[in-house]
Every structure is written in C-alpha cells, then in structure tokens.
C-alpha cells in the first residue's frame, strides 16, 4: 500500500555495517579484555578508527568528515559497541557531540581550525557540561566565564568528562550572566595545554573502563571571544540541541552492547550441554533468547527511527530520548540475561558478557539518565 516505509538497509548502509563489523572483530576484539582490566585508553585503535573515517562520519568532506547520514553512524556504532563499548563512547562523543556541535553551530574559522582535525580523527574532542553539582540539573552551572572584553576568564570544575585526558579540544559550557540563568550560559572552545587548564583525576569505573573519564579544573583560563560558539547566551541551547543527537549515539551504543551479548549467548546456548542436550533446547533458555531477540529488534527500530528523524530534518527530541531510554534499559536487562545463560562461565572475564553487563549500566546514566529521558519524553508529549 505504501512505498514510504522501508525496513531494508541500502547497499551503502550494508557495506558500512560490514566495514565496522570487520574493524571490531579484527582490531578491537583481540585486546578488549586486557584494556578493560588495565583501564588503558585504546589510543592505537582510536587512531585507526579515525583513519577509516569513523570519527567524523556525519561531517562534510570539506571539513575532513565522511559526509554520511545519521543512519550510517548508528549502524557503525552498533557494530563497534557489540565488541568494545569503551571505543564506542569515544566514537560517540567525538561524532555526535563535538563534531556535530561545531559543524552545526561553529563559525567558518572554528570549523577550519578545530572541526577539520577532529572529523578526520587527527585529534579527538571532549564535551564538558557536567559538574560536581550540576549533572541532571544541568542549568545549575557553577563554572563561570566572566566577560573581560576580548576574552572570557573561565573558572570552575567539570566532572566525569569522557576523553578527559586524551582530548585536544574541549567544548566547555559555562555561566556568563548568572542573572539570566540558562539564557546567560556560553559554550567555549578550550585547547589542551592552555594556561590554568588542568586535567584532574581519572575515575576508576565499573564499566567502559578503557575510556578515560576525568574531572577538569579551570583556574583563570583565558578564552578569546572568537572561541565562543554562537551568540552570547546560546551555550545552554547549544548543549541541549547537541545532546539530542548525542542521545541517538548512546542509544546505538546501548543497542550494540545488548546485541553483542545476545549473539554470544545464542552461540553459547547451542554449544553448552546440560541434562544431555544443548541448553538451547531447554524452553526456559529459548524464552530468554526469544525475548532478547524481540526487545533488541524493537530497540534497533527505535534507534533507526531517531536517526531517520534527524536525517529528514524532523524534530527528534522525543524519538532520541525514547530510543536512548529504551535501548539502555534493554542493554542492562539483556546483558544480565546473557550472563545467566552462560551460567558460571558468564561470571568470568574470558566470556565477555560480564564486561558487557558492567558496560551496559552507564548507558542508563550518561547523556541524561533514564529518569531524565522520561522527563524529556513526558514534556514533549504533554506539549502536543
């Protein structure tokens, strides 16, 4: 009846999926357990990811990117996250927060200077919104950016910053006109090594242990005015608009973690025998697999729909929040089921699913907790 609803991937999308899957299996899989144990940042792996064009996927080739759509990006994210969720978060922050933010809202000079090396993967970036006392309540920014004429004087602390030490460029959200509350916030570009800018302690985390999460300290950091993104006071809108796309990336990461755990559980269930037959022949295991498969597929369509909305130029606040909320809930649940299907073997590192269970948890927390996604969805539906 209708030609507009098409559930099959194009040849181009299929080849992106294949390329990302191949990269994940050959480059990421071999060291993923060791990197998790040692909390070692995947420097070489991220460099290769950049060389393949996966760090600036949606950026115009004019600015060093791959010029692909958001659907390509989520397809690739899923495949990377199936194997290594730590690499996936580096990819997500660089693509959908840092590159997208600069691409959409940066000046031509900012794009030339910062977006080009970021999109080509020469350097990576960080997105700095959260503070010790401003996480979900993101408008309560304490970091200040005092207007000094030609420059801003930045003081304060940012918390939990992904790529905190590995980044070269930081998009920093800070309060300039406190009396205007969120309308007085600015987004500034800070470079690593600037006087007064110090990378603080590295967090010792439950999951995504190979990603580097740091606090950042700003002590009288001078940021020239031409490094402000957008108009004076645009910083909070910048952060929220950018995060809508970021949430699609994290939803794809969650989807990948869930799908990766499911693939391992499915394979294992056919190999492991109990009571004289493979455990996949016990109905209790079949029901777990069936439910995992169905929920993961539902999450996948929600992620694709959010990506499609963004590509079509539709509003995607609601579909991004729904995809992020649902995919992260599925990831936490499906990885726990994958451990259960593996029995005792699921509880040890060698079988990967215990790491996936630990990695899944963060997807319910960052880029807006599950509670905040529901708040965003509720506000959108009640507006109608």
Site for ligand CAA, rule CB under 6 A: 89, 93, 127, 129-130, 136, 138-139, 162, 182, 236, 240-241, 243-244, 317, 366-368, 372, 375-376
Task: Give the ranges where the chain is alpha helix by DSSP (H).
Answer: 11-23, 32-38, 43-51, 70-83, 85-92, 100-105, 108-110, 116-119, 235-271, 283-312, 317-342, 353-363, 370-383
Q: Closer CB to ligand FAD, residue 106 or residue 368?
A: 368
Query: Taking CB under 6 A as the criterion, which residues in 134-163 touch ligand FAD?
Result: 135-137, 160-162
Length of the chain in residues, anyone?
384
Strand 213-224 and strand 197-202: the pairing is antiparallel
Q: Closer CB to ligand FAD, residue 130 or residue 176?
A: 130
Run of H or E including 172:
strand 169-175
Hey, CA dihedral for 112, 105, 197, 118, is it positive or negative? negative
317 binds, among ligand CAA, ligand FAD, none (CB under 5 to 8 A by kind): ligand CAA
Closest approach, Cβ 68 to ligand FAD, in A, equals 23
Binding mask 333-362 for ligand FAD (x = CB under 6 A): -----------------------------x
Strand 125-128 and strand 169-175: the pairing is parallel
The one catalytic residue in 354, 367, 371, 380 is 367
> Rounded to whole angstroms, how far apart are CA atoms 14 and 30?
24
> Which 3 state secondary structure label does DSSP give 175?
strand
Question: Of 156, 174, 175, which Cα lies nearest the Cα of 215?
Answer: 156
Candidate residues 128, 261, 302, 338; the one interacting with ligand FAD per rule CB under 6 A: 128
244 binds, among ligand CAA, ligand FAD, none (CB under 5 to 8 A by kind): ligand CAA
Q: Closer CB to ligand CAA, residue 66 or residue 163?
A: 163
Q: Which residue has the tokens 């608009």?
A: 241
Encoded tokens for 322: 């729904």
172 φ, ψ (degrees, to nearest 5): -110, 125
Query: Taking CB under 6 A as the criterion, which residues in 170-209 touch ligand FAD?
Result: 205, 208
Q: Closer CB to ligand CAA, residue 95 or residue 130?
A: 130
Q: Closer CB to ligand CAA, residue 277 or residue 383?
A: 383
| Residue 161 DSSP one-character state | E
243 binds, among ligand CAA, ligand FAD, none (CB under 5 to 8 A by kind): ligand CAA
| Residue 366 DSSP one-character state | T
> Rounded to whole angstroms, how far apart are CA atoms 376 and 379?
5
Closest approach, Cβ 318 to ligand FAD, in A, equals 18
Q: Closer CB to ligand CAA, residue 117 or residue 245?
A: 245
Told to judge if 45 belongs to the known catalytic residues of this protein, a careful annotator would answer: no
20 binds, among ligand CAA, ligand FAD, none (CB under 5 to 8 A by kind): none
Candidate residues 23, 63, 127, 326; the one interacting with ligand FAD per rule CB under 6 A: 127
Tally the C-alpha atoms within 13 A of residue 363's C-alpha that lie toward its C-beta.
37
Q: Closer CB to ligand CAA, residue 87 or residue 243?
A: 243
139 binds, among ligand CAA, ligand FAD, none (CB under 5 to 8 A by kind): ligand CAA
Closest approach, Cβ 136 to ligand FAD, in A, equals 3
> Rounded to whole angstroms, how far apart are CA atoms 260 and 24?
11
Q: Is 240 in the site for ligand FAD (CB under 6 A)?
A: no
> Rounded to whole angstroms, how far apart are CA atoms 218 and 239?
19
Q: Which residue has the tokens 């005792």?
A: 344
205 binds, among ligand CAA, ligand FAD, none (CB under 5 to 8 A by kind): ligand FAD
257 binds, among ligand CAA, ligand FAD, none (CB under 5 to 8 A by kind): none
Encoded tokens for 340: 């259960």
Is 205 within 8 Å of 355 (Cβ atoms)? no
Q: Which residues are catalytic?
A: 367
The residue ranges that bind ligand FAD (CB under 6 A) are 93, 126-130, 135-137, 160-162, 205, 208, 213, 362, 365-369, 371-372, 375
């Amino acid at each position: 009846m209708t030609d507009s609803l098409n559930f099959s991937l194009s040849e181009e999308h299929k080849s992106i999926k294949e390329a990302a899957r191949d990269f994940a299996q050959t480059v990421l899989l071999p060291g993923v357990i060791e990197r998790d144990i040692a909390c070692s940042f995947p420097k070489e792996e991220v460099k290769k990811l950049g060389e393949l064009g996966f760090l600036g996927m949606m950026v115009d080739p004019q600015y060093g990117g791959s010029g692909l759509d958001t659907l390509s990006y989520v397809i690739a994210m899923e495949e990377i996250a199936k194997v290594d969720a730590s690499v996936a978060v580096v990819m997500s922050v660089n693509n959908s927060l840092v590159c997208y933010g600069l691409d959409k809202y940066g000046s031509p000079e900012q794009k030339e200077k910062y977006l080009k090396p970021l999109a080509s993967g020469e350097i990576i970036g960080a997105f700095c919104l959260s503070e010790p006392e401003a996480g979900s309540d993101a408008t309560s920014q304490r970091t200040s950016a005092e207007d000094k004429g030609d420059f801003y004087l930045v003081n304060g602390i940012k918390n939990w910053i992904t790529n905190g030490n590995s980044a070269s460029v930081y998009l920093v959200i800070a309060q300039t006109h406190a009396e205007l509350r969120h309308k007085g916030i600015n987004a500034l570009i800070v470079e690593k090594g600037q006087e007064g800018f110090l990378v603080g302690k590295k967090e010792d985390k439950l999951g995504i242990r190979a990603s580097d999460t740091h606090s950042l300290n700003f002590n009288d950091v001078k940021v020239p005015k031409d490094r402000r993104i957008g108009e004076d006071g645009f910083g909070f809108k910048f952060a929220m608009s950018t995060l809508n796309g970021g949430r699609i990336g994290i939803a794809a990461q969650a989807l990948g973690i869930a799908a990766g755990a499911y693939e391992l559980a499915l394979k294992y269930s056919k190999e492991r025998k109990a009571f004289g037959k493979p455990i996949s022949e016990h109905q209790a295991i079949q029901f777990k697999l069936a439910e995992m498969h169905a929920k993961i597929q539902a999450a996948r369509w929600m992620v694709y729909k959010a990506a499609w909305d963004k590509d079509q130029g539709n509003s995607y606040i609601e579909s991004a929040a729904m995809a992020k909320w649902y995919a992260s809930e599925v990831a936490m649940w499906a990885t726990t089921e994958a451990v259960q299907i593996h029995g005792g073997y699921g509880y040890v590192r060698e079988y990967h699913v215990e790491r996936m269970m630990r990695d899944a948890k963060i997807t319910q927390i960052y880029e807006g907790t599950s509670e905040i996604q529901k708040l965003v969805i509720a506000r959108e539906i009640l507006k109608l």
